[in-house]
Amino acid sequence: APLSAGADTIAAVATPAGRGGIGVVRVSGARVREIAGGVLGALPEPRHATLADFRTAQGAPIDSGIALFFPAPRSYTGEDVLELQGHGGPVVMRELLRRCVALGARVAEPGEFTRRAFLNDRIDLAQAESVADLIDASSTEAAASAARSLAGEFSQRITSLVAALTELRMHVEACIDFPEEEIDPADRKALDEKLSAIRVAHAVLLDAARQGAVLREGLTVALVGRPNVGKSSLLNRLAGEDVAIVTPIAGTTRDYVRATIELEGVPIHLIDTAGLRDAAADEVERIGIERTWAAAASAGAVLYITEEGEQPRVEDASLLARLPAGIPKAHVFNKIDLSRSTASTSAAGKDAEIHLSAKTGDGVAALRSWLLETAGWRPHGEGLFMARERHLVALRVAGERLASAERNTQAFELFAEDLKITQDALGQITGAVSADDLLGEIFSRFCIGK
Ligand code: GDP
Ligand code: ZN
């Protein structure tokens, strides 16, 4: 479909399919006034709720309800918009939509209203994405951070960074034509200060975006350890239900089992790995072991589980050595109920040792806290933004270029180039710089009527 705003008029049922107290048909485009005239008999007063009968071409009633008319440009899409709120039955909604189409509208594609809002500069790209995120939000925290992005907080922070970069670029361009020795030291100092202020603002924004992304994507955690240490039991304890089969026979968990739990609105994806033994008994177990390592390597954190009080084993040492470096891990000493030890936690940097019992639940709260902390969650998520992966990628590119700029402060041409690329990367977030295929991709994931 073409991405231009187009003069054609689109219509859709904006409320969910099925029966409901209220159903809304939304219409946007150049023919809205004609359509209002046809369905309602007259154009409603702008931005006022008007009680009206919705009628067929022959004048027969389809429904009666509230009509709302938003003249361009002060509407959701920036075009003339008509909203017809009727009774939310599927037949009523279908008839109303059919009537609008007969009067010259066509049925909208998913996300088309929001796409028009973007193309008509009512919202930027990051805001458009947050419309979908708000609708899809699975927790209060996720909804709040999407709402902040929709209100434009994220975009404003990006825009002010871009403005600071523009100012710095002008400063650099002004210096470019002069030989190095002619640059006023005060000028040089101001330039350095501007750059470091930008780097700080960027780092704060990246952090807020990364934390917001956690609410959306969550953390993947691999549970690893020898057979029978209690991996499946711990997963069941965390999930609070029997998702994995717990069995006392070594090596019976042949493949990993996944479960997603939600802690404070953060999705935590747990992977119970196959029993890890140096020598696999058979082909099935060998494949299970291979998958284990693949899962552990791509996880964001690892729970390495042994039994409380047991002597360190050779297999454990080799297992630990194979875990990817830099990935946060908690060494869980399970079954403290057997040795009558008490639950305790010690943390060293991002790694921790946690003593607990999957059977009694003793000490599991400490594990939950560690998971949350490792996921990047912090209490009272104010200031977080529901960032998407593409926002993080752009922010990271910007960060690398800013670091490069700092190395190039003595070479103005390179310095200016770094700033330009930084600006372009940030511009992709708000859609100031964007490719058509990216737009198509973003809006195609919307529901109809948005
Ligand atoms: P996995 O092979 O690592 O997945 O271990 P399982 O979860 O299948 O557990 C192996 C055995 O240890 C089962 O009999 C469990 O009931 C038992 N088990 C697991 N956790 C605990 C615990 O905290 N305390 C006690 N006493 N037994 C446990
Ligand atoms: Zn198991």
pLDDT computed for residue 5 by the predictor: 47
Atom 19 of ligand 1: nearest residue by CA position: 230
| Residue 236 forms part of a structural domain | yes
Distance 300 CA to ligand 2 centre (A): 20
3-state secondary structure at position 360 = coil
**Residue where a domain terminates, one of 101, 123, 145:** 123
Distance 238 CA to ligand 1 centre (A): 14
CATH number of the domain enclosing 70: 3.30.1360.120
Same domain, 254 and 362: yes
| Residue 414 forms part of a structural domain | yes
CATH number of the domain enclosing 173: 1.20.120.430
| Residue 4 forms part of a structural domain | no
What is the number of structural domains in the chain?
3
Quote the tokens at residue 322: 């194979």
**Residue where a domain terminates, one of 58, 89, 123:** 123
Same domain, 172 and 312: no
Same domain, 205 and 252: no
Interatomic CA distance for residues 396 and 394, integer angstroms: 5
Lowest mean pLDDT among 66-75, 113-122, 185-194: 185-194
CATH number of the domain enclosing 287: 3.40.50.300
Ligand nearest to the CA of 227: 1
Ligand nearest to the CA of 356: 1
Distance 235 CA to ligand 2 centre (A): 9
**Residue where a domain terminates, one of 375, 396, 420:** 375
Same domain, 366 and 421: no
Among 233, 238, 333, 339, name the best residue to mutate to test ligand 1's pocket (greatest count of ligand atoms within 8 A of Cβ).
233
Query: What average pLDDT does this structure show over 3-27?
Result: 81
Q: Give me the domain span that covers residue 48.
A: 9-123
Confidence of residue 241 (pLDDT cuts 50, 70, 90): low
| Residue 380 forms part of a structural domain | no
- What are residue 254's phi and psi, to 5 degrees? -85, -25
Atom 6 of ligand 1: nearest residue by CA position: 230
- ipTM of the complex in this document: 0.98
Ligand 1 site, CB within 6 A: 225, 227-233, 246-248, 253, 275, 334-335, 337-338, 357-359
Interatomic CA distance for residues 173 and 182, integer angstroms: 14
| Residue 97 forms part of a structural domain | yes
Indicate which atom in ligand 1 lies nearest the CA of residue 227.
Answer: 2
> Could you report the per-residue pLDDT of 257-289, keeping only the tens digit for each?
677 888 887 888 888 775 445 556 677 767 766
Instruction: Centre a 10 Å sphere on the Cβ of residue 384 and count the other Cβ atoms it contains.
Output: 27
Closest Cα partner for 404 from 246, 202, 174, 138? Answer: 202
Lowest mean pLDDT among 4-8, 184-188, 304-308: 4-8
| Residue 175 forms part of a structural domain | yes
Same domain, 256 and 307: yes
Question: Would you say 251 is a known binding-site residue?
Answer: yes
> Could you report the per-residue pLDDT of 410-423, keeping only the tens digit for each?
888 899 899 999 99
Averaged confidence pLDDT in the chain: 84
CA atoms within 13 A on the CB side of 294: 8
Say whether pLDDT at 136 is over 50.
yes
State the chain's maximal CA–CA distance in angstroms: 87
Interatomic CA distance for residues 128 and 125, integer angstroms: 5
Same domain, 262 and 339: yes
Same domain, 312 and 260: yes
Lowest mean pLDDT among 71-80, 194-203, 316-325: 316-325
Same domain, 36 and 88: yes
Closest Cα partner for 208 from 373, 372, 385? Answer: 385
Same domain, 188 and 245: no
| Residue 449 forms part of a structural domain | no
Lowest mean pLDDT among 7-16, 246-255, 331-340: 246-255
> Could you report the per-residue pLDDT of 44-94, keeping only the tens digit for each?
999 999 999 999 999 999 999 999 999 999 999 999 999 999 998 889 999
Among 228, 238, 342, name the best residue to mutate to test ligand 1's pocket (greatest count of ligand atoms within 8 A of Cβ).
228
Same domain, 211 and 230: no
Say whether pLDDT at 308 is over 70.
yes
**Angle (nearest 5°) at CA 291 between 286 and 297:** 130
pLDDT computed for residue 355 by the predictor: 95
* Non-local CB neighbours of 334 within 8 Å, separated by 6+ positions: 229, 230, 233, 234, 305, 306, 307, 308, 356, 357, 358
| Residue 3 forms part of a structural domain | no
pLDDT computed for residue 435 by the predictor: 63
> Contact, 54 vs 86, CB < 8 A?
yes
Query: What average pLDDT does this structure show over 117-142?
Result: 84
Sign of CA dihedral 51, 55, 60, 64: negative
Indicate which atom in ligand 1 lies nearest the CA of residue 245.
Answer: 8
pLDDT computed for residue 2 by the predictor: 39
Distance 340 CA to ligand 2 centre (A): 23
